[in-house]
Structure 1
């Protein structure tokens, strides 16, 4: 025959075990569905691939701009690029050139 004290101890143990089980289940759920869990892993990989592609695109653009800046160096300026810039920014043309505007 159980006493009231034993029944209270059993109830307390079951409560503690239930709380521990709930905490473990929540931790497991967080590991699977949390912001850095298994479900977010695929999304993070997809974002990483997108950002790597964008980085490669930006590096190519940077290299193009770096080359253009090197061509504009005053000590060794490229005459073709200088002429192109003058014509495009100042809207000038030489007398022997014909300007055709396209629609």
Structure 2
């Protein structure tokens, strides 16, 4: 009967914990700094807030433009509204007038 005897290696018992620690470190790092990690989530939330503010501004501007269009296209155009639009589109005024664009 033939038996083999192996000498116990000291670093052999640290292989599995070292591999486990490496996997945990890898996944831990990417859970914070990865494409869908915590820092990316903060950036996405910041972009969401900025874009919601921009959306609110655009909706406000759209409502103002819709009010202006409804005033022009209701069948009876007011003379001052017509005059204002014509001056803005043609960029003309009389010599004795001061035009302030905002």
Q: Which residue of 2 aligns with 1:67?
A: 67
Give me the whole-angstrom Cα distance separating, in 2, the residues matched to 1:84 and 1:27. 63
Match of 1:99 among 94, 97, 100: 97
Give me the whole-angstrom Cα distance separating, in 2, the residues matched to 1:44 and 1:14. 40
**Equivalent pairs, count:** 95
Give me the whole-angstrom Cα distance separating, in 1, the residues matched to 2:24 and 2:53. 40
Q: Could you say which structure has the higher helix fraction?
A: 1
Q: Which residue of 2 aligns with 1:79?
A: 79
With normalisation by structure 2, the TM-score equals 0.63
The CA RMSD measured in Å over matched residues stands at: 3.3
Q: Which residue of 2 aligns with 1:88?
A: 88
Counterpart contact for 1:86–1:92, Cα < 8 Å: no
5+ residue gaps, structure 2: none
With normalisation by structure 1, the TM-score equals 0.63
Q: 1:55 to 1:100 in 2, by over 3 A?
A: closer
